[in-house]
Amino acid sequence: MLELRHVSKSFGQKQVLQEISLHVASGEFVSLIGPSGSGKSTLFNLIGGLLGPDAGEIYLNGEEITNKHGFISYMPQQASLFPWRTIIENVLLGQELQGKKDYELAEAMLERAGLGDVIHAYPHELSGGMKQRVAFIRALLSPQSLMLLDEPFSALDEFTRTDMQKWLLSIWEDYEQSILFITHSIDEALFLSDKIIILSVNPAEIKDVFEVPFIRPRDGDLLLSEEFLQWKKKIIDVIQF
């Protein structure tokens, strides 16, 4: 699916990414965690084709996409909904950019995601959590098979956040989309992902990669299980080392 080969990037004197190689398989949920300033957003901009790497290549489904855009779907940190579009129009935007709109599918997905009542509302009428849901559906509806999620829940409060994580899993588990997910939260990464990639800082290098063994579908009890806490400890040890 997505493959990064020895990608490096620096801005002026400052090296931000060094020799990053990673792999996201089809239908896989991969999280990137690392401290602030570890160049995670730069990595996303590279995959999105907004920036070019100094060295290395990026492949999607075997095709090189280095420096090319339009190959991935994206969910930013802020919902970034267009205030003049209704919810359904917002959700259709990703498809619109690629040429074909599927109104019925969008409607059905909003219904399924519990947003059926607000299809024709404007974004300002929605709460923060609801907006993020809409942004996720928008990304999911885009025709690209890989989604980049950039700390999508970091602006939400703790309660909404846990709800959102469960909701995201419940929706995503029905689709075949691959996800590359940036987060600061170890709990979030463990709860959601199949694989966790830990980045170091200055410059960012891959410190370690864990395959997360918890079976799907996952529910909230997992967050308090003994096994979960052991994994969390393991990851914290790597990060602090």
Partner 1 sequence: MKTSLLKKVWRPFLAILLFIGLWEVATRLFSIEEWLLPSPSDIVMEARNVIPTFLPHLGSTVTLSVSGFLIGTTVGLGVATILHLMPRVRETFFPFIIISQNMPIIVLAPLLVIWFGFNALPKLIIITLACFFPIAVSALGGFTQTNRELVHYMKMMGANKAQLFWKLELPHAVPSIFSGLKIAGTYSVMAAVVSEWLGAQKGIGVFMTLAASSYRTSRVFVAIIVAMVISLAFYGLILLLEKFFIRWQQKGENV
Which of 150/205 has CB closer to partner 1? 150
Which of 123/203 has CB closer to partner 1? 123
Which of 18/90 has CB closer to partner 1? 90
Q: Which residues here bind partner 1, judged by CB under 8 A? A: 44-45, 48-50, 69-74, 76, 78-85, 93-94, 96-98, 122-124, 142, 148
Which of 47/115 has CB closer to partner 1? 47
Q: In what order do the strands lie in the sheet with 146-150?
A: 73-75, 146-150, 178-183, 29-33, 195-199, 206-211
Question: CB within 8 A of 104, min separation 6: which ones?
Answer: none
Name the minimum Å distance from CB 207 to partner 1.
Answer: 26
Name the minimum Å distance from CB 238 to partner 1.
Answer: 29
Nearest 10 degrees: CA dihedral of 58, 213, 151, 182?
Answer: -30
Which of 100/124 has CB closer to partner 1? 124
Name the minimum Å distance from CB 50 to partner 1.
Answer: 6
- C-alpha neighbours within 13 Å on the C-beta side of residue 239: 18
Q: CA 237, CA 208: separation in Å to the nearest integer? A: 11
Name the minimum Å distance from CB 222 to partner 1.
Answer: 31
Name the minimum Å distance from CB 83 to partner 1.
Answer: 6
b/e code 59-97 from CB counts within 10 Å (16+ = b): ebeeeebbeeeebbbbbbbebebeeeebbbbbbbebbee
Distance of CA 23 to the CA centre of its chain: 14
Name the minimum Å distance from CB 155 to partner 1.
Answer: 12
Which of 69/233 has CB closer to partner 1? 69
Question: Identity (one letter) of the amino acid at 201?
Answer: V
* Residue in this structure with the two tokens 């996201």, named with its chain if needed: 24
